[in-house]
Chains A and B, each alone.
Chain A
Amino acid sequence: AQRVTQPEKLLSVFKGAPVELKCNYSYSGSPELFWYVQYSRQRLQLLLRHISRESIKGFTADLNKGETSFHLKKPFAQEEDSAMYYCALKGSNYKLTFGKGTLLTVNP
């Protein structure tokens, strides 16, 4: 079975502060990990995927197979980063398994 855990439902930081959204997963094989973001009144959209190893909007995430984690990080949060963030896992098939999400609020 595959499972994704996002331990924080809510995360609040000040503008310019570092931010880390935690994601842990459970999967017996080699997963593909994603971060999806949903801004207010917008649809769910892909932020980044671990196989791309790229930085999007200043966010990065590294897959740590030893700790089974894929935490999302940004060194300096901006107000426009306020959104709902979902970590998702794709196993050997096509299904995406999502965590429950973390609502990030960046205060001015």
Chain B
Amino acid sequence: GAGVSQSPRYKVAKRGQDVALRCDPISGHVSLFWYQQALGQGPEFLTYFQNEAQLDKSGLPSDRFFAERPEGSVSTLKIQRTQQEDSAVYLCASSSERASTDTQYFGPGTRLTVL
């Protein structure tokens, strides 16, 4: 079946621009996660949704980062006034049930480059 999809796969932004990254989780998956992966590092947790509720946003690095999942399926990660340090691969993952028990399935990621 279809896995987690993300778009765009690549995004180049000029410093100061706003960007929006989209995640389509596996159909029916309740839990959705965003991770940030800087070059040479492992993924780092940003935020977690259970259905449409954002239960944890403790990993968002600044108030320029905002995530939403209004209907409990597709999610968007928005970064305002991008900075060079925002350059990274942004990964989305979903899991079918309660996130504490189920495997997280990852999307291909969006590579963001801020010039």
Contacts and interface: CB of A to CB of B under 8 A. Distances in A.
Interface residues of A, number: 20
Nearest to A45: B106
Main secondary structure of the interface of B (DSSP, over half): loop
Main secondary structure of the interface of A (DSSP, over half): strand
A63 B99 CA distance: 21
Contacts of A44: 43, 91, 106
A97 B45 CA distance: 7
A99 interface: yes
Contacts, number: 50
Contacts of B18: none
Contacts of A49: 103
B100 A100 contact: no
A57 interface: no
Given A46-B105, A93-B100, A96-B43, 12 more contacts: A43-B108, A43-B109, A46-B104, A90-B100, A94-B31, A94-B48, A94-B100, A95-B45, A97-B45, A98-B43, A100-B41, A101-B42
Interface of A: 4, 36, 43-46, 49, 86, 88, 90, 92-101
Interface of B: 3-4, 31, 33, 35, 40-45, 48, 56, 59, 91, 98-100, 103-109
